[in-house]
Amino acid sequence: MYAESTAVVGPLATFSEPHSYDLCEFHAQRLTVPLGWEVVRHEIDLDDAGPTGDDLLALADAVREAARPEPPRNPADDGSGTRRGHLRVLPDIT
């Protein structure tokens, strides 16, 4: 947070963000900031670092969904939502 003159040190990021850097524990502990800046440290509770019950249920649901077979595709369906048969009536032009 450059505009607020604050450096925040916490757990590794879960997504890429500009001006955010992942540091190893050694360097995170020794981080220094410019004079007048504030350092905010978010400590990790190692007892609570694992996945929650909700995380595990969401993972199980995702695995079940991925394992579910896709319904057979109808060859007469062109993907537009309207059914097209393979036979057509053509006008007699004779």
Strand pairing category for 6-9 and 38-41? parallel
Give strand pairing partners of 40: 8
The verdict on residue 62 lying in a domain is yes
The verdict on residue 74 lying in a domain is no
**Which residue is listed with tokens 């695995």?**
63
The verdict on residue 84 lying in a domain is no
The verdict on residue 12 lying in a domain is yes
The verdict on residue 80 lying in a domain is no
The verdict on residue 18 lying in a domain is yes
Is the pTM for the entire model greater than 0.95? no
Question: How many domains is the chain built from?
Answer: 1
How confident is the model over 13-53, as pLDDT tens digits?
Answer: 777 888 788 888 888 889 899 999 999 988 777 666 677 78
The verdict on residue 83 lying in a domain is no
